[in-house]
Structure 1
Amino acid sequence: MSEIAHLGPVELLTPKFDASLAFFTDVMGLEIHAQEGDSTYLRGWGDYQRWSLKLTASDRSGMGVLGIRAWSPEALERRVAAIAATGLGGGWTDGDLGRGPSYRFRDPDGHVFEIYYECERYVAPPGLEPALKNIPGRNLGRGIACKRLDHINILAADVRANREFCTDALGYRLYERIELDDGVEAGAWMSASIAAHELIYTHDARDAHGRLHHLAFWVDTREECLRAADLWLDAGVEIEAAPSKHAIAAGFFLYGIEPGGNRIEVTTGGRFVYAPDEPVVVWTEADRKKGQAWGVKTVESFHTYGTPPVD
């Protein structure tokens, strides 16, 4: 379907490092894989790569670098050539922990990406091997016990320009989008697989650039998502949107704000797209005013808040 295999690991910046780390380990249930400098590398028990979240101490919140894995060395070369042709390429880096050569670039809105192919697979240390051979790690059952990184939603002043960059230069497939009455594209849901979404762009209400809307982690069942809400409540996590079902992409959700200020989602479900000629679903202003799938109205902060915050 695409020369992109899937969304890779993401770096998340936090001005409250210790509190954010405690949130991701004790509450979300991620495992610490390594620590280097101001960063801690974490993973869900179902992540096949060595890490999926790089938590970095910073003076601000938001996204640092978003990784994308190519299907093959040849696919990587072709995507790098396509990116460079847009004038948004930044050049090669040595990669990150457990990752080979990576090509750094920016999207039209200024978010920093790195595309790579070579990476090391996670190998569980002695005593923590999973019982089944087709699972990367053991589920230790701590906190929410998130399985893996699922998707990311990033804000953009011009959604259409960024969506076209991702479909044309990177090779993402557009599954759903929002078009307002004035013709402005307010959201785009893209994927490199049959999953409903991996990479999402939504309009930045502040007309700022390079900001993050949310980072989402997967659990296998709706019951786990409901349980996550109870765990957040007991842990004092700010719950922004209680569990419900999205209309777009049909995923089940829970949204909250981690101590560093970044919006985090616990998610499950969602549609799969098998047809090679599946038409793009276009949602109108009237559609969106109906709220989420079961009629729940979207909270106002969901449309206006992002990280780093701006006045």
Structure 2
Amino acid sequence: MPIPMPNLYPPFNIVRLSHVEFIVTDLARSRAFYADTLGLQVVTEDAERIYLRAMEERGHHCMILRQGPKAEVSMLALKLYSEEDLDKAWDWLCEQGLPVEWVERPHQGRTLRTRDPSGMPLEFYFQMERLPPIHQKYALYHGVRPLRIDHFNCFSTDVDASVEFYNRIGFRVTEYTEDDESGRLWAAWMHRKGGVHDIAFTNGRGPRLHHTAFWVPTPLNIIDLLDLMSTTGYLANIERGPGRHGISNAFFLYILDPDGHRIEIYCSDYQTVDPDLEPIRWDLKDPQRQTLWGAPAPRSWFEHGSIFAGAHVTEPLLKAQPIIAP
């Protein structure tokens, strides 16, 4: 199916992705992974929740870890441009027949909770508690030195439908993978903030979260993290990489947290702010699509994902498969 034309005047204005909430089964174990090993900064914490931010971020948090009985993803959050956009979002989502409710969230102003047409839980807000800058407090840098949250990648049972919905609320396609036989999308990368993506969709059982990505300064930070993880008990948590994607041109590493939530460590993609930027098409069987150097991804990368709380997971419409490592 053709990529939709960019919707430059959406019904409400999304600035960027903001944060994610992971439900984890052992809060202390997850704290050790995200704060002590990856290097995210603990902002506040109690017996049930830990709020984390990366080094360049001024908002209170980019990740919430919440203790729970099973590993799930509670929601993905997006920041809006204004308070007025929250009301516009409420009205538009109601018109689409999607569920809406106002929810109370610590350290945030009014927050609107909904689910997209696939059942994926989303939250929108405008105001978050602002914190003093720490990006020049170099004594705090450790682990992989994460600077900011970069994107979400989600499994979708119908990538064409996901692209159509997110295009309607202003996300623009930068790159995509198309199956030649069916003409359907196998994957698509969409942005608001002017990078390659704030959110991406990959064909698979869904809705599920494939990964959450953090931006780091250089590929050497990724090498340092590999050395650290391989000598501190996290060797089995290294899933894929390091490598360079064909799509996005980013240098990457995929790792799994103690509950199996996938994290990508990411740098070196490119700017996409022009409203008339033409998306780049990739063929599903192109070996350089996944990795510019040609190495295919492992099977787990196409099959493993995190469940969204309250979402019903179904099989994908498209049965085509990319190249998978033996």
**TM-score normalized by the length of structure 1:** 0.88
Between 1:298-307 and 1:281-290, the stretch displaced more is: 281-290
1:79 aligns with 89
2:117 aligns with 108
1:201 aligns with 201
Say yes or no: does 1:56 pair with 2:56. Answer: no
1:249 aligns with 248
8 Å CA contact 1:144–1:231 kept in 2: the answer is: no
Structure 2 Cα separation of the partners of residues 106 and 165 of structure 1: 12
1:216 corresponds to which of 213, 216, 228:
213
Structure 2 Cα separation of the partners of residues 275 and 171 of structure 1: 14
Q: What code does the residue aligned with 1:92 have?
A: W
8 Å CA contact 2:186–2:203 kept in 1: the answer is: yes
Shift of 1:22: 0.7
CA 1:42/1:136 → structure 2, altered by over 3 Å: closer, same or farther? Answer: farther
Structure 2 Cα separation of the partners of residues 117 and 250 of structure 1: 31
Shift of 1:75: 2.7
8 Å CA contact 2:244–2:293 kept in 1: the answer is: yes
Instruction: Tell me the secondary structure at the aligned position of residue 286 of structure 2.
Output: helix
Unpaired segments of 5 or more residues in structure 2?
A: 1-7, 316-326
Shift of 1:60: 2.4
Shift of 1:138: 5.5
Q: Cα deviations across residues 28-81 of structure 1 (Å, max 9, x unaligned)?
A: 111211124521111112111011100012222232111101112233332332
Q: What code does the residue aligned with 2:73 have?
A: M
CA 1:26/1:109 → structure 2, altered by over 3 Å: closer, same or farther? Answer: same
Q: What code does the residue aligned with 2:109 have?
A: G
CA 1:282/1:80 → structure 2, altered by over 3 Å: closer, same or farther? Answer: farther
Structure 2 Cα separation of the partners of residues 49 and 138 of structure 1: 19
CA 1:141/1:290 → structure 2, altered by over 3 Å: closer, same or farther? Answer: closer
Q: How does 1:1-311 map to 2 (within 5 A)?
A: 3-36=13-46, 38-94=48-104, 96-123=105-132, 130=134, 135=135, 140-168=140-168, 170-181=169-180, 182-204=182-204, 207=205, 209-237=206-234, 238-288=237-287, 291-308=290-307
Structure 2 Cα separation of the partners of residues 44 and 290 of structure 1: 29
CA 1:142/1:285 → structure 2, altered by over 3 Å: closer, same or farther? Answer: closer
How many residue pairs end up in the alignment? 297
**Percent identity among equivalent residues?**
30
8 Å CA contact 2:216–2:266 kept in 1: the answer is: yes
Unpaired segments of 5 or more residues in structure 1?
A: 125-129
Structure 2 Cα separation of the partners of residues 288 and 109 of structure 1: 29
**TM-score normalized by the length of structure 2:** 0.84
8 Å CA contact 2:93–2:100 kept in 1: the answer is: no
Structure 2 Cα separation of the partners of residues 86 and 137 of structure 1: 46
Q: Cα deviations across residues 235-269 of structure 1 (Å, max 9, x unaligned)?
A: 23221112111111111101111111111111111
